[in-house]
Structure 1
């Protein structure tokens, strides 16, 4: 039996997960599918549904202890997918040309399936020697809301946290933080034919947006790379013949060591100038694992990787929330998905990468 046959269960589970529509919510059926698989394999499983239709899964296998060696985590939600722009059904879960097709295949239902099947196989083969915790969440794509909702009492501190985001099976030791800001301008309304009697909020905020967009001197971290600021939305105005008295834009700031929330707000406030209010909407810290603390895990997952320079991702993960609740473990982001496929039209994931990933995660549970 070759490796692909050995890990066919991971492919089957990933296909079933892709076929469950969790675009922007409704994760409970996916949580139930994962929970049933783990419960049937003898895991202690807890499903929490703090919001109707939105559920987290926390599962554990092994003897009771104050810490567990390894925790696997992944999210069950996906970003939206408009079928009109795809060449196949985003919910198809079809296998074609050695790839799994569908929204969430790379980000990150294939990774979740590999984690589940690696843990199930380890528990079946070596029940006395296997100790692992699995955490699967809702709402990661919109700010890690599911991870925030997990009852801390249901979690066991861990030494190592593996996050199955799409890395193409590279070992990544953390990621940037994220800060979402609402920037608001207030003006004075007037008739559109007498703009001199009002104060145009759009003009004020658009000027601030232009300064932020043109700014190129954002700090650069030697490990995490440059901080970035993206103007994601801009809302203002009621109708053309009315001077707008309110305008709001929302910013996505990716923070790095040495340039966190306070530094970012101060610099953006300076660029905006007087009269623009800033309100934080989301603030998640970055993650940075010392390469020496994760060298063994990296080598087990991807032989030879510990000799290469450490990588840090630009995106955020649930590790921003979970590390503090899990006793500050070493974090390795590792999954079979292709980073370039995340959130992409016609998203897919390599079946060969899934096999490699499942085998590596199983190897980690046997050796760690």
Structure 2
């Protein structure tokens, strides 16, 4: 039984490439929606994961282990937060952040953005804006309010003493790869501080890709919480919620969260990113796609969206036929989230291939 009979069936991957069951090769410029930041089948990571499988795979959250300590040590080389709570995905990281905000502040109201995407569990779905994700699952969690992204005046009107937290993506992913304006982010920070509310920054998709470890670093703003997932362990499921306040033991937990295997994969992934300076190199590899059908290329580094004058969906299939895997972010945006190991030459091929498809070249 299969729900995906008409979809491309992938059977293996290596580096920036994947192969289907018929042996066709594709440059994977979406990387599991931003997950395979080190590419597929990274030999160093695979070897270490295999070793860990023979050592210790699981340990309940009531125990400590050296793999968790190693992961936190590597993480602390990039960010400065006092506490880290482990889960198994970006959605779980967001769910934890929403819980923590209500617990810490004693307030209920959460403000999110139009066109935001934060996940598909009930709390994160309540913060997610798009109707197609929410429809059929109501009633959702009460207490959520959406305001227009990048609208300073709407933020000033919405954030009050009743607000527990504001959650925002520095670059909206599903919303079309739209960067936040500096004034907007700084206004959110000022207003949350004035109203004893928390600022949650969702970096599940934007971390690593913009030339800095966290995209929020471009704004010189320190959030109260950060959520991470996706590429944090290069394909091994993991999520992390970072805070500067403690949540009493027993108030939140996860059976698999912070298990030794995932933590070892996370520590190794972060070490490779650091040693090979892949985050810093992301900006150097960025591209701009142009043409009559292109309105703009937006985003930062290797988190890019190509906004078209027409629907982008038909070009996803066309590019697949040319050996390039991409997807959409909104109806008119081609989304690129390639592995950070991709070369500048390969990114130029991506640019040329997309421009060729847009121009109708076979």
TM-score, normalized by the shorter chain, greater than 0.5: no
Q: Normalising by structure 2, what TM-score?
A: 0.24
Select the structure of larger CA radius of gyration: 1
Q: Which structure is richer in relative contact order (CA contacts within 8 A, separation 6 or more)?
A: 1
Tell me which protein shows more strand as a share of its residues.
1
